[in-house]
């Protein structure tokens, strides 16, 4: 039996991943060392968007509360570092434990609803934890808290930007691989079945609540890991990481890249961050003060750009490529 040729989307994802792997090498060569930090942010936000897409794209659950889990991961690093605990594995264990308990309790409440009610309840829980973080004056309150030291991985020193970059890259690739295996497993098929017709899945004897709760917890823990990496990158944590606006940004990244595609959220994250950086620091020497106008009102232009992409490519940037291949088969 002849092997099927590798798809265009595979080659696109492989080329994009290779580009990410080469950034710490290429950035100094082109005189732009800050690209290492920018692409680190892209991968972290892409990782969180992959986590959200796990329930949004494959489970049909629109959560406006996943910034909560990003914030939990960031605060786990910040609070433990504040008390002198910098061991990365201890921080990881604490963050995942708290994140898992929170996801189970919140999921058991939220998943008994659907549609708009699900969205609003996830939003409500996020804002509750956000205001809790604001009230923690010992840890900076509304102003946030600088993190005295990055997580200690023993032989690997995260104080070196390239080491942290490749750690983020390795985690992203690992999560993408695991997500691919899960989505194409029996669990993933049942989850997709719940999205398409939950009543039929219940009639077939599947405990849909258990499957959706498991997916919600997995999704949340991916965001927790993203939050830990974000705290190490910025050496700072703040209630802003928990705000509903941050959850909205993750949804935009997923939609921008392609809902229900594995690599789409990473592409959406890259596109959004790069366009944001380009518009906010726009400087091409245009006449009549156009540069200042664009850099001052870049959010409005970003909104127009997103609107155009969504209207022209209804499946998103990477999703359009997937749809084109599926249509040609």
- The values of phi and psi at residue 156, to 5°, are -95, 125
Residue keyed to tokens 């009610």:
117
C-alpha dihedral sign at 227, 120, 248, 322: positive
The answer to whether the beta carbons of residues 173 and 17 sit under 8 Å apart is: yes
The reported pLDDT for the residue numbered 1 is 41
Low-confidence residues in the chain, pLDDT < 70: 1-6, 281-298, 325-329
SS3 212: helix
Closest CA to 223 of 81, 80, 73, 324: 73
Residue 227 CA to residue 233 CA, distance in Å, equals 10
Which tens digit of pLDDT belongs to each residue from 113-138?
888 888 899 999 999 999 999 998 99
SS3 90: helix
Query: Which CATH topology does 8-328 take?
Result: ABC transporter involved in vitamin B12 uptake, BtuC (1.10.3470)
The reported pLDDT for the residue numbered 135 is 92
The reported pLDDT for the residue numbered 237 is 93
- The values of phi and psi at residue 11, to 5°, are -65, -35
Residue 60 gets the label, from left (phi > 0), alpha (psi -120 to 50) or beta, of left
Residue ranges covered by each domain of the chain: 8-328
Tell whether pTM > 0.95: no
């Amino acid at each position: 039996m002849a092997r099927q040729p590798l798809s265009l989307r595979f080659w696109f994802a492989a080329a994009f991943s290779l580009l990410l792997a080469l950034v710490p090498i290429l950035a100094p060569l082109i005189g732009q060392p800050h690209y290492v930090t920018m692409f680190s942010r892209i991968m972290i936000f892409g990782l969180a968007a992959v986590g959200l897409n796990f329930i949004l794209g494959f489970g049909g659950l629109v959560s406006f509360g996943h910034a909560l889990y990003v914030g939990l991961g960031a605060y786990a690093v910040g609070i433990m570092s504040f008390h002198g605990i910098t061991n990365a594995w201890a921080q990881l264990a604490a963050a995942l434990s708290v994140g898992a308990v929170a996801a189970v309790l919140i999921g058991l409440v939220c998943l008994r609803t659907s549609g708009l009610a699900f969205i609003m309840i996830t939003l409500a829980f996020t804002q509750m934890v956000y205001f809790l973080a604001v009230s923690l004056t010992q840890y900076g309150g509304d102003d946030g808290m600088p993190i005295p030291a990055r997580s200690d991985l023993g032989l690997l020193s995260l104080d070196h930007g390239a080491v942290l970059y490749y750690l983020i890259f390795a985690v992203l690739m690992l999560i993408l691989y695991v997500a691919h295996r899960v989505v194409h497993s029996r669990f993933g098929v049942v989850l997709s079945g719940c999205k398409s017709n939950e009543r039929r899945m219940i009639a077939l004897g599947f405990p849909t609540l258990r499957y959706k709760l498991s997916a919600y917890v997995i999704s949340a823990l991916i965001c927790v890991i993203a939050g830990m990496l974000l705290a190490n990158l910025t050496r700072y944590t703040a209630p802003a990481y928990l705000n509903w606006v941050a959850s909205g940004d993750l949804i935009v990244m997923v939609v921008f890249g392609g809902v229900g595609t594995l690599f789409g959220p990473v592409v959406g994250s890259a596109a959004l961050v790069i366009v944001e950086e380009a518009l906010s620091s726009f400087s091409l020497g245009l006449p009549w003060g156009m540069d200042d106008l664009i850099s001052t009102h870049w959010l409005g232009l970003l909104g127009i750009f997103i609107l155009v992409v969504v209207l022209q490519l209804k499946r998103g940037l990477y999703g359009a490529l997937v749809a084109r291949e599926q249509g040609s088969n």
